[in-house]
Amino acid sequence: MNKRLFVAGFIAFILFLILRYVYDLPIFVSFDKNMQALVGENSFIGSFHYLGELKVISLITLILLGWLGFKHPNNPRIIFVLFTIPVGFLLNQLMKNWVKRPRPEIENQLSSYSFPSGHAMLGLLYLLTIAFLLSERTTVEKKKWWIWIVAITLAFFIGLSRVAESRHFAIDVMAGWCLGVAWFCLCVYWYINKSSNQLKRD
């Protein structure tokens, strides 16, 4: 399990770095334009951006922390949630200010940088965090599969909504997913090792 997590996280981070250095090549600029033409102004896809809004994610994070803290104040899951979501947000902002890619040119565009997409990265992080915590609480494999399928599907549409609304280029969204997966794998790796060591001490 730990080895697979490390490999998956490493591959995702390498893909993020590749996208960071190739996004302005003609083939990827063309890809961005084609994706914009495909899903641009799609109101159904665009509506998913609400699930990736910072205020929504912040509220869900507070609910998660309150629930976990009420049940088990010393639970390593609390640190896990803090790592995946709030620290994940700081990582996203750090990467944005490192790359400094402007957003697509549209009227009333947001003033922050575009790469990687915060909606894509944070949407994926909080949904995978919820899926991970829920899947820990069930032994029914079919339920686990459905939990992960729903989480991944919602994360996909949250990311795609940013292209539909011209807030991000498609490459920005892909980079957000890649960095989100890399960070999530690292956090799960820490959590599994922390939980294992705690059980040994107990």
Give the separation between CA 123 and CA 128, rounded to whole angstroms: 8
- At residue 3, does pLDDT exceed 60? yes
pLDDT (tens digit per residue) in 102-149: 999 888 888 889 899 999 999 999 999 999 999 988 888 889 999 999
Q: Does residue 103 contact residue 145 with C-beta atoms inside 8 Å?
A: no
Burial of 133 (0-12, 13-18, 19+ CB in 10 A): middle
The one-letter amino acid code at 98 reads W
Question: Measured between alpha carbons, how far is residue 61 from residues 53, 77, 102 in Å?
Answer: 12, 12, 29
Task: Give residue 198's pLDDT.
Answer: 57
Q: Is residue 181 within a helix (H) or strand (E), and if so which, with residue range?
A: helix 170-201
pLDDT of residue 151: 96
- The pLDDT of residue 108 is 82
Average pLDDT of every residue of the chain: 90
The residue assigned the tokens 């599994």 is 192
- 108 vs 30 pLDDT, higher one: 30
Calpha distance 166→103 (Å, rounded): 8
pTM of the model: 0.90
Q: What is the pLDDT of residues 143-197, one digit of tens each?
A: 999 999 999 999 999 999 999 998 999 999 999 999 999 999 999 998 888 766 6
